[in-house]
Amino acid sequence: MDIRTISENPFSLEYTTQGDDKNINGTVHGGILFYVCDEAIGRYVKHIGRVGAAADANIHYYRPVQIGQKITAVLHERKVGKKLGIFFVEAKDEGGKLLADSLFTVAFLD
């Protein structure tokens, strides 16, 4: 998957969906949206110099994504402590409409 970081403040990345991302309904599989949000978390944790893994995650889907549509994931840091971090990610389309949002708890391993 060709996901690229596009900004560090706010931390965000983008991905343009492809034919292989299709679900049984012909739209993008929700797992692709989840993966893009999860990838934002992983890249951000590395960006801040930490090592961690998702301990918990929750996602809410708001509208379907079409093949060929660009997804932009924007990360918001809620709280970062010694052992855990809480992060909120919004996935939006090119027009800024909310596609999904997710809340992740990351357990720091360092």
Residue 9: CB partners within 8 Å, gap ≥ 6? none
Residue 44: CB partners within 8 Å, gap ≥ 6? 11, 75, 77, 87
Question: pTM, whole model, 2 decimals?
Answer: 0.93
> What is the Cα–Cα distance from 110 to 50, expressed in whole angstroms?
7
Is 3.40.640.10 the CATH classification of the domain at 4-108? Answer: no
Higher pLDDT, 4 or 84: 84
Q: What is the pLDDT of residues 62-74, one digit of tens each?
A: 999 999 999 999 9
> What is the Cα–Cα distance from 19 to 107, expressed in whole angstroms?
34
Q: How many CB atoms are located within 10 Å of the residue 7 CB?
A: 12
**Can you give the residue ranges of every domain in the chain?**
4-108
Q: What is the pLDDT of residues 11-62, one digit of tens each?
A: 999 999 999 999 999 999 999 999 999 999 999 999 999 999 999 999 999 9
